[in-house]
Amino acid sequence: VILVGELSLWVALLMAVWAATVSFAGGQMRRGDLIASGERAIYATFAMVVLASLGLWTALLTHDFSIKYVASFTSANLPKIYTITAFWGGQSGSLLFWALILAGMCSVALWTNRDRNRELMPYVSGTLALVLVFFLATICLGSNPFERLDWIPPDGRGMNPQLQNPGMAIHPPNLYFGYIATTIPFAFAIAALLTRRLDAEWLAAVRRWALLSWFFNTTGIVLGMWWAYVELGWGGYWAWDPVENASLLPWLVNTAFLHSIMVQEKRGMLRKWNVTLVVSAFLLSIFGTFITRSGIISSVHSFAQSPVGKWFAGFLIVAIIATAYLVTTRLKDLRSHTELESMISREAAFLYNNLIFIGIAFSVLWGTMFPIISEAVRGNKITVGPPFFNTVNVPLGLLLLLLTGIGPLIAWRRASVANLRRQFAAPVGGAIAVGVIFFVLGLRNFAALLTYTFSALVLTTIAQEFYKGVGARRRMYDESAIVALPRLVARNRRRYGGYIVHLGIVVIFAAFAGLAFKREFDVNLRAGESKTVTDAWGHQWTFLSQGISRYRVLNREVTAIALDVTRDGKNAGVITSEKRQHVDSRGAPTFEPSTEVGIKGSFKQDVYVVLAGVRGTDAAEIRVTFNPLVRWVWLGGALMALGGLVVMWPQAERHRARAKSAVPARTPVHEQLPGLVRA
């Protein structure tokens, strides 16, 4: 099976080359047989990559340590679930995983468009095939997961203990799905540019994929934050590390696109802009992968330097030049159908929203690349850290939050004064009330105060929208509020799903603002000693050490400390934190020790305890962090995912059935496009 897997990789590469060649040729010569052959070749590529993946999984599960990848990332005593997830734990395996998902998505995209967008499809499948060729060639020639060692080790190195965490098992696939899904919109954009069919048609085809990408990107980022928080033990969830930034960039661009697409749909504006955003989201995904894998920017996350970086750099340069050429030569076809009529309009709000998203994306890109830019320009490597990103992005983020509250209230085209007064009365009132209350309660941090004021604005806006929608349904259909609410959402998924996403954003912003009140204490405790500290809410916490225990489980030696915790004199339970030394199947230590954080969470704050080290037999060095409102970050992330699902959920079959019966005799596709009769 393993050998078959290896061979099928090469077959897949050949298939993809064939698919790219005949698809473009078929599109150019309008030959249906070639086009069909190209599409079949992509399905075949997918089948071959599936075979290859099964081969690698077989190698992992049978512990075939003659294969370098298996020996490098697993060991005989690794739990089975992590043996399976080791598939994407290392460089070459994760590339194969990427190819697998990409080929799968390509197949789905071709299948769902088998009767639609036939003018575009040859170029779509050609572009997709080219991207597949790149990934498969990188795997086959640059980083082959089936590479063999010239000796057979008795056991593998095992998996880095920090990766042995459920969050790490699902976070990378989510991010990969998000990254990879940008390829489909990219292919449609290229096809639309090539054929100059730049109307609403291609946009409609890509919206769902852009959403899918956004959804997985969002969940991937939030899961990554959660993993970093519970596993890495530095007390936070976002450090503006280059790799984190790399995952944020496509998210920002995608989010901007999901907003600006509405402007094009409603008003025919922003056509150049939308093409650019779609293409950039893809390029940034590739760029993100490039900087994680090339070692060009040092990051605690990065893979070791490897030849794969060169492949990615080459692909990136070719892709940028090709798309830049295509867009600049099609500018005439992309002219806007209408103009902005008024600054006080929904369009203008969306325009500013996009501007800020791109501003944030640019500053993140700039800060991430600054060491390289400064070295190239001035010969000195200068790095910027969290202070840079926070200085720039806190004001921009606040503006964005403000717009989230304003945008949904303004009418399209031109808002009247009456409209404004009616729509804004409640939200502005709510915002001012909350701002004043928080100020009176003693909140003096300016950024936090603004965050909560704007959050109140957005919340009231959302509540008002739901209230009005439900009210309208109650009058029209005579429904009770309980019936009307779910129906309202179900009938207008995009709109109300979007509001649920906004709700999640507000929750996350409110939680971020809580970081201003983080408190951190370094404590040394012997068994029986205690220490009392005060958190930002004014509670007194006492930590009493019960001493240190050492024991052995499965694949690790554990050193643990247990702390008796009291809050304001009342018992608050026990917090334990561990240091783990992982061992291989013969008991020899592998990797550096890792930390298991002790967290006692509530909606107010997390008490976050890290056992930093042990001196002698019982003197523990502990770091205690009070992290306000962290749980709300996860909750906000869940809300965003939920909102995304609501928007994406396929419209009920009923709608489709009705649409069909209304247009009984739809012209078959091949009659519309005589040149494209399918074989």
Partner 1 sequence: VKPRIKFLLGGALVLGTAGYLMASAISETGVYYLTPGELSAKTKVDPTFYETGVKVGARVVNGSIVRDPGGRQVAFKMTDGAQTYDVVYRGITPDTFTDDVDVVVEGRLGRDGTFRATTLLAKCASRYENAPDKYKDTPGYKQAEKRA
- Measured from the CB atom, is 98 or 123 closer to partner 1? 98
Q: Is 384 among the residues that bind partner 1 (CB under 8 A)? A: yes
Q: In which order are the strands placed within the sheet that holds 605-615?
A: 519-525, 619-628, 605-615, 598-601
- Measured from the CB atom, is 160 or 566 closer to partner 1? 160
**Which one among 200, 317, 382, 432 touches partner 1, defined by CB under 8 A?**
382
**Which one among 91, 254, 453, 577 touches partner 1, defined by CB under 8 A?**
91
Shortest approach of partner 1 to residue 52 CB, angstroms?
20
Shortest approach of partner 1 to residue 342 CB, angstroms?
5
Shortest approach of partner 1 to residue 595 CB, angstroms?
6
DSSP structure class, residue 332: G
Query: DSSP per residue over 415-466, as a string?
Result: --HHHHHHHHHHHHHHHHHHHHHHHHTT---HHHHHHHHHHHHHHHHHHHHH
Structure-token pair, residue 343: 């600054």
Q: Is 341 among the residues that bind partner 1 (CB under 8 A)? A: yes
* Amino acid in position 297: I
Q: Is 403 among the residues that bind partner 1 (CB under 8 A)? A: no
Shortest approach of partner 1 to residue 585 CB, angstroms?
8
Segment holding 237, helix H or strand E: none
Binding mask 46-85 toward partner 1 (x if CB under 8 A, else -) reads --------------------------x--x----------
Q: Check: CB of residue 268 under 8 Å from CB of residue 338.
A: yes
Shortest approach of partner 1 to residue 17 CB, angstroms?
28
**Under 8 Å CB-to-CB from 662, ≥6 apart: which residues?**
none
- Measured from the CB atom, is 69 or 202 closer to partner 1? 69
* Amino acid in position 625: T
Residue 410, φ and ψ in degrees, nearest 5? -90, 145
- CA atoms in the 13 A half-sphere facing the CB of 43: 11
Q: Is 621 among the residues that bind partner 1 (CB under 8 A)? A: yes
23: number of Cβ within 10 Å? 29
**Which one among 213, 590, 605, 627 touches partner 1, defined by CB under 8 A?**
590
Q: Is 503 among the residues that bind partner 1 (CB under 8 A)? A: no
Q: Is 381 among the residues that bind partner 1 (CB under 8 A)? A: yes
Q: Is 155 among the residues that bind partner 1 (CB under 8 A)? A: yes
Strands 594-596 and 570-582: antiparallel
**Which one among 66, 165, 342, 566 touches partner 1, defined by CB under 8 A?**
342
- Measured from the CB atom, is 235 or 637 closer to partner 1? 235
Which 228-247 positions form the footprint of partner 1 (CB under 8 A)? 233
- Measured from the CB atom, is 90 or 598 closer to partner 1? 90
Integer Cα distance of 511 and 663 in angstroms: 50
CA distances from 141 to 18, 44, 292, 293 (A): 18, 20, 19, 16
Q: Is 263 among the residues that bind partner 1 (CB under 8 A)? A: no
Structure-token pair, residue 15: 């298939």
Q: Check: CB of residue 558 under 8 Å from CB of residue 552.
A: yes
- Measured from the CB atom, is 115 or 522 closer to partner 1? 522
Which 279-318 positions form the footprint of partner 1 (CB under 8 A)? 298, 300, 302-304, 306
Q: Is 173 among the residues that bind partner 1 (CB under 8 A)? A: no
- Measured from the CB atom, is 391 or 532 closer to partner 1? 391
166: number of Cβ within 10 Å? 14
Of 38-46, 217-225, 381-389, 664-672, the window that binds partner 1 (rule: CB under 8 A) is: 381-389
Integer Cα distance of 109 and 191 in angstroms: 14
Shortest approach of partner 1 to residue 132 CB, angstroms?
24
Q: Is 547 among the residues that bind partner 1 (CB under 8 A)? A: no
Integer Cα distance of 36 and 464 in angstroms: 51
User: Which among 464, 482, 511, 541 is positioned nearest to 627, based on CA atoms?
Assistant: 511
Q: Is 356 among the residues that bind partner 1 (CB under 8 A)? A: yes
Residue 284, φ and ψ in degrees, nearest 5? -70, -35
Report CA torsion sign: 654, 659, 663, 668. negative
Q: Is 618 among the residues that bind partner 1 (CB under 8 A)? A: no
Of 200-208, 391-399, 440-448, 465-473, the window that binds partner 1 (rule: CB under 8 A) is: 391-399
Q: Check: CB of residue 380 under 8 Å from CB of residue 275.
A: no
Shortest approach of partner 1 to residue 583 CB, angstroms?
9
Q: Check: CB of residue 554 under 8 Å from CB of residue 547.
A: no
Q: Which residue is it, tokens 């159908």? A: 337
Q: Is 623 among the residues that bind partner 1 (CB under 8 A)? A: yes
- Measured from the CB atom, is 266 or 495 closer to partner 1? 266
Integer Cα distance of 221 and 343 in angstroms: 34
Total residues at the site for partner 1 (CB under 8 A)?
A: 68
- Measured from the CB atom, is 185 or 233 closer to partner 1? 233
Query: DSSP per residue over 2-35, as a string?
Result: HHHHHHHHHHHHHHHHHHHHHHHHHHHHT-HHHH
Of 439-447, 565-573, 580-588, 636-644, the window that binds partner 1 (rule: CB under 8 A) is: 580-588
**Which one among 33, 62, 154, 437 touches partner 1, defined by CB under 8 A?**
154
Q: Check: CB of residue 559 under 8 Å from CB of residue 533.
A: no
Q: Is 378 among the residues that bind partner 1 (CB under 8 A)? A: no
Shortest approach of partner 1 to residue 621 CB, angstroms?
6
- Measured from the CB atom, is 279 or 392 closer to partner 1? 392
Shortest approach of partner 1 to residue 381 CB, angstroms?
4
- Measured from the CB atom, is 157 or 495 closer to partner 1? 157
- Measured from the CB atom, is 467 or 591 closer to partner 1? 591
Structure-token pair, residue 442: 């003693």
433: number of Cβ within 10 Å? 13
Distance, CA of 244 to chain centre: 10
Q: Is 520 among the residues that bind partner 1 (CB under 8 A)? A: no
User: Which among 151, 130, 134, 154 is positioned nearest to 143, based on CA atoms?
Assistant: 134
**Under 8 Å CB-to-CB from 550, ≥6 apart: which residues?**
557, 558, 559, 560
Residues that bind partner 1 (CB under 8 A): 72, 75, 89-91, 153-155, 157, 160, 233, 298, 300, 302-304, 306, 339-343, 345, 348, 351-352, 355-356, 359, 362-363, 366-367, 370-371, 374, 380-385, 387-388, 391-392, 395-396, 399, 522, 524, 579, 584, 586, 588-595, 610, 612-613, 615, 621, 623
